[in-house]
Amino acid sequence: MLKKKGFTLVELVVVILILGILAAIAVPKLFSTSGMATDNGLRTSLTTIRNAIELYNAETGALPGSTDDLPGDLIDYVRGSFPKCDVGNAVTADGVKYTDAAGSITGEATPAMGWHYNKTTGEFIINFNGASKSDATVQYDQF
């Protein structure tokens, strides 16, 4: 008697189900990695600009941005162009909103500028108060 070789319909359905489950688990992990990369890039940009503000202050004895031109004041302290803020859909992603307040500053829900700088305290933040892509419990203006 001749025996046919091959897979049964049940075996094929089981394999397709297993592949579907694996794909359902892998896709969200892939998108989470992209969000973490964006957040880490923003943290690096913040650290770079904050260090440049401190260095400027140490060398000149004053905080930069008094003429509402923080990127211009920091041109000798930042390699390359002033960074863009990749979150918040700001009209001007590399623009800076200036504040003279004595207290802390916060980001906006729909910002016009990507960054927010307090000329009185030297505080520099992301001008967006939406939830972080990598940790929904942290807002971008808290980085």
**What are 29-69's pLDDT values in tens digits?**
777 777 888 999 999 999 999 999 999 999 999 999 999 99
Query: What's the pLDDT score for residue 7?
Result: 81
Q: Where are the domains of the chain?
A: 13-142
- Encoded amino acid at 37, one letter: A
Q: Show the tokens assigned to 29.
A: 């992990």
> In terms of pTM, does the model score above 0.75?
yes
Query: What are 4-18's pLDDT values in tens digits?
Result: 778 888 989 999 999
